[in-house]
Chain A
């Protein structure tokens, strides 16, 4: 396996808050890497750095051997990096299909309009939104909007997909369905880096886990290893009951 994404000593400070500090890890091709940590640990900031929403203060981001540090978001999308947002960002007055066509048109392949809408339809099918393709994004339920985020990112035909809490706010049935969708996406050869608070789900889905705390890497390893890591239990999980739950075999 080769590193698809290589983060080297990233740092980002907002005023007095050191959101990300000296953070290094790699995402290997084909894996699902889970990113966990308490609120404010710097997970979403890290996504924003990778995604070019703002540049890091120091450190390097290398994607497929190319240094993409400080590039604008739309350039990074062309490299084959797509993401979903924790707080959904639909193009509200456009249909589900149009939303996804934007993703396909301006994603990695930069497809022409006609081809893009075919790719968009495929992505919509993977996310299970076929029946709502011509619905305006603003009329979707929250679960629908989460799926739209996923479909739109997928339509860009990314090599690496960043998922920011796609399971948050969904009911158990929806969570189960979404986990299925994520598995299907991985089977299509897309590497996934995901942030998630639903422990059971992320421990189940991930090949490896990176734990963040106060912007730094606290632990890294297989889900079972991480869950047994004393510092992780102390700093993050705190609650022995939750720790026990994590140590149960998936």
Chain B
């Protein structure tokens, strides 16, 4: 990894993490913390989605299944087996990643629209499972008692802990998508994204690489889901497997510029800010999703390269620094 340390982009990510962690903490600004927590969540979801979408060229409409399943496994372990939060989060990540690897080897035989449809099918299937699985409380879901925050020093301090963990997950997501992008594995994925048949003939082990990418992109969203639902102390199928969030992650990745690390993070942050504004404004509160739809249309039609595509074409020298 020392080679990575010499690259400026490594330090840019470090700076972003530091700003996220310190700015709300310094003023003890709870309101800002909550808004940045959501931004960190969006950045996590979009960055991991980007590994499949932007690198390997596979449109995953169901990336939310990792988030929801991670949430369920974590909350369940905390609630039913009294596992500590940290361990539950790691277990959720590993379990979801392993499941994704198995699913991936199956559904990644499909391409294009068929793959996209299959990913929605996976969400529906997992949601139906959660609704009928008694240990997970069926359709009613799982409630956590407020006592679970005690090991973290009570609710007020627990929320800070959760926030810092979410920022760490975001940071790891950025580093992961960056590390993949500049690796041989990433080169193989990019080749698959450009022309899968040609990539296979050049020797890229396509089924394995796609499944690994799918699995790798499942880990951190699962951990983020664990944190998110632990924080809310409540999880139910319709929240955990909400396709809206999946779609938003796609919009965000396209908005920022799929295939880039910076763009996707920037897109996620801007989208979250916009969404926050719209939700709280009286005129727009009901139109938030309409707007994301319109946004997606505009991007697809006029800015296929997203924000970063625009930046790269205006300032080509940024290509060397911003991945």
Chain A residues within 8 Å of B, Cβ to Cβ: 51, 53, 72-75, 77-78, 82-83, 85, 89-94, 98, 101-103, 105-107, 110, 112-113, 116, 152, 156
Contacts and interface: CB of A to CB of B under 8 A. Distances in A.
Contact of A102 (B187, B205, B206): B187
B132 interface: no
Nearest to A152: B202
B183 interface: yes
Contact of B184 (A53, A90, A105): A105
Given A101-B187, A105-B187, A113-B183, A92 B194 contact: yes
Contact of B203 (A78, A92, A93): A78
A106 B202 contact: yes
Contact of A85 (B191, B198, B203, B205): B198
Contacts of A92: 194-195
Interface string B75-98: 000000000000000000000000
Interface of B: 183-184, 187-188, 190-191, 194-195, 197-206
Nearest to B191: A102
Nearest to A79: B203
B194 A77 contact: no
A77 B187 contact: no
A74 B204 contact: yes
A103 B191 CA distance: 10
Nearest to A107: B203
Contacts of B204: 74, 102, 106
Given A91-B195, A92-B194, A156 B187 contact: no
A89 B206 contact: no
A77 B190 contact: no
B200 A102 contact: no
Given A74-B203, A74-B205, A106-B204, A89 B187 contact: no
Given A89-B197, A91-B199, A102-B188, 12 more contacts: A53-B201, A74-B202, A74-B206, A75-B205, A92-B194, A94-B194, A98-B187, A102-B191, A102-B199, A106-B203, A106-B204, A113-B184
22 contacts: A51-B201, A53-B201, A73-B203, A74-B200, A74-B205, A74-B206, A75-B205, A89-B197, A89-B198, A89-B201, A91-B190, A92-B195, A98-B187, A102-B188, A102-B199, A105-B188, A106-B202, A106-B203, A106-B204, A112-B184, A113-B184, A152-B202
B219 to A, nearest CB: 23
A106 B188 contact: yes
B191 A107 contact: no
A74 B201 CA distance: 5
B202 A103 contact: yes
A156 B195 CA distance: 17
Contacts of A152: 202
A156 B198 contact: no
Contacts of B188: 102, 105-106
A116 B198 CA distance: 18
Contacts of B206: 74
B202 A107 contact: yes
Nearest to B197: A89
B194 A83 contact: no
A102 B183 CA distance: 11
B195 A89 contact: yes
Contacts of A107: 202-203
Contacts of A83: 201
Contacts of B190: 91, 94, 98
A91 B183 contact: no
Contacts of A113: 183-184, 187
B184, B199, B206 — which one has the most chain A CB atoms within 10 A of its CB?
A: B184
Nearest to B190: A94
Contacts of B197: 53, 73, 89
Contacts of B200: 72-74
A101 B186 CA distance: 12
A156 B190 CA distance: 17
Contacts of B183: 113
A89 B200 CA distance: 12
A141 to B, nearest CB: 19
B195 A77 contact: no
A120 to B, nearest CB: 11
A103 B188 CA distance: 10
B202 A156 contact: yes
Most buried by B among A53, A74, A98: A74
A178 B187 CA distance: 28
